[in-house]
Amino acid sequence: MPERMTVRSGKAATRQRLERISAYQLGRPKARLGNPNTGIPEVVVQPIYDIYFVANATAMPLLTLFSVPVGQTYNFGGVTAFLKTFGHTNLVQAGMLESSYTFVVRALSIYMQALQGTAQLYLNYTDYANLASSRAQFNINRKSYYDGIIGWLPGGGGGNFAGGGVGSTTQATYNTTNGVPYSRNVYPLPGGQFINPQENFNFIIDPTGNAGGTPSTATVVLPGITAPASGISAWVRLDGTLIRVAQ
């Protein structure tokens, strides 16, 4: 392949260097100005998460998670309405990732406790069992990648543990979590599932189809039983790797 050519203009002649390309690039389009995105892709371990909160003495609602981003109002499940912060979700737009972001979902998990901000943060076991036996579904672009009940999803890492969800209803201080609080105790998705830029995704929690009707959270403490009735806080976590442009 020639590397130089002669260009004549009247009596003057100049030699102009041609761009050297490999045989692999022959016939392939090539941007002459290079990649307009000057950022360098980076991959970080970063879960995506969202919440399912229910006040005490309240019917557990059907809720589509990842539809209310940070900074918007959460007003479901009878809780006092509040603005979601990064302690509740790290999604900044409804139902999809930020532009040019890609996420590889490698595992699912859910952490449960009593309603955040209440004086008594121990989760009532009846509330746990009703939520754990409720249907859940994880979707990407209307395609399901998990169908089952909440109880089949482990809790992953967590701060409290009492027999994997078996707590005594006659003890004043006990807690209930979804499995051993170990970081690897998650529900794996072998090979991972990609959420590409601008693709819609969600996680649906649906207690409304439970046998016996929609369950309600515990109302009061019964005589002789000191288990709390403090509602539910649940964080659904998509564990995986985030691919983004380095700043």
Each domain of the chain, given as residue ranges in start order, spans 40-246
Helix (H) or strand (E) segment spanning residue 131: helix 125-132
Q: What are phi and psi of 112, to 5 degrees?
A: -125, 145
- In this structure, what DSSP letter does residue 53 have? E
pLDDT value at residue 165 = 41
Written as one string, the DSSP assignment of 57-96 is T-BPPPEEETSS-TTSEE--TTPPPEE--TTT----STTS
Helix (H) or strand (E) segment spanning residue 195: strand 187-195
Query: Per the structure block, which two tokens stand in for 146?
Result: 């998990």
CB-CB neighbours of 82 under 10 Å:
13
Give the whole-angstrom CA distance, residue 4 versus residue 224.
95
pLDDT value at residue 29 = 52
- pLDDT per residue, tens digit, the chain (247 aa), is 444 444 455 555 555 555 565 655 555 555 444 444 456 778 888 899 999 999 999 999 999 999 999 999 999 999 999 999 999 999 999 999 988 889 999 999 999 888 998 877 778 888 989 999 999 999 999 899 999 999 999 888 765 554 334 444 444 445 566 766 666 788 999 989 999 988 999 999 999 999 989 999 988 665 555 567 889 999 999 999 998 876 6
Burial of 13 (0-12, 13-18, 19+ CB in 10 A): exposed
Cα dihedral 117, 118, 121, 125 sign? negative
pLDDT value at residue 36 = 44
Give the whole-angstrom CA distance, residue 63 versus residue 127.
16
Give the whole-angstrom CA distance, residue 172 versus residue 167.
10
Answer left, alpha or beta for residue 144, where phi above 0 means left and psi between -120 and 50 means alpha.
beta
Task: Tell me which residue has tokens 């912060």.
Answer: 85
pLDDT value at residue 208 = 95
Give the whole-angstrom CA distance, residue 113 versus residue 122.
6
Indicate whether this model's pTM tops 0.85.
no
- How far apart, in Å, are the Cα atoms of 239 and each of 55, 87, 242? 27, 16, 10
